[in-house]
Amino acid sequence: MTRKSNSTTIKSIHIDNSLETEQGTLIARDREIALRDLERESHFHPFNDPTGPYDVSLTIEENRLVFRIENANGDKLPMLVLSLKPYRRLIKDYFIIVRSYDEAVRDGKPSRIEAIDMGRRGLHNEGAGLLMERLEDKIAMDEDTARRLFTLICVLHSAHTPGLF
């Protein structure tokens, strides 16, 4: 993979450290891959700030997704807050897929795992498109970055919705 210009990348990404995801589950795997890949390769450029790479912190507060971004100079950019309502169906579907995937793995059904994984990719594409649309006048990002951020939105949501997963 080719690393894009440092001025349009994520240097580090942080999510709530108190999140516990059971090791060996799809959601734990998705979380670790998303965090690693965002730091390795991303296109993330807050408008009106050319001084990346950026440190990004994602949290959920009062059912809203909060982006806290700091540029390479250590300046804190204006906080971005997004309602999670438009993601409600996608997040619910994501956790249905996660449960189905984990069951298929336990049952040893490779063909079912493959079908579930195709559905998961489609869901990630839809979530990425929605995120890019909602941030189009605030942050430029590519689809891969948006897909990984959507994964982290789902992970964060699981910790703030008891009994969801």
Check residue 81 and give its pLDDT.
96
> Which residue ranges of the chain lie beneath pLDDT 70?
1-5, 17-24, 159-165
Domain ranges of the chain: 6-159
Check residue 3 and give its pLDDT.
43
**Predicted TM-score (pTM) of this structure:** 0.87
Check residue 164 and give its pLDDT.
45
Check residue 126 and give its pLDDT.
97
DSSP code for 1: -
Residue 130: which of 91, 89, 93, 87 has the closest Cα?
87
Check residue 30 and give its pLDDT.
86
Check residue 21 and give its pLDDT.
58
Torsional sign, CA 121, 90, 60, 25:
negative
Residue 68: which of 87, 46, 51 has the closest Cα?
46
Spatial separation of the C-alpha atoms in residues 164 and 67, rounded to whole Å: 23
Q: Hey, which residues does 68 pair with through a beta bridge?
A: 57
Check residue 165 and give its pLDDT.
41
Torsional sign, CA 114, 89, 17, 82:
positive
Check residue 19 and give its pLDDT.
54
Q: What confidence tens digit (pLDDT) does each residue in 85-121 have?
A: 999 999 999 989 988 988 898 898 889 999 998 998 9
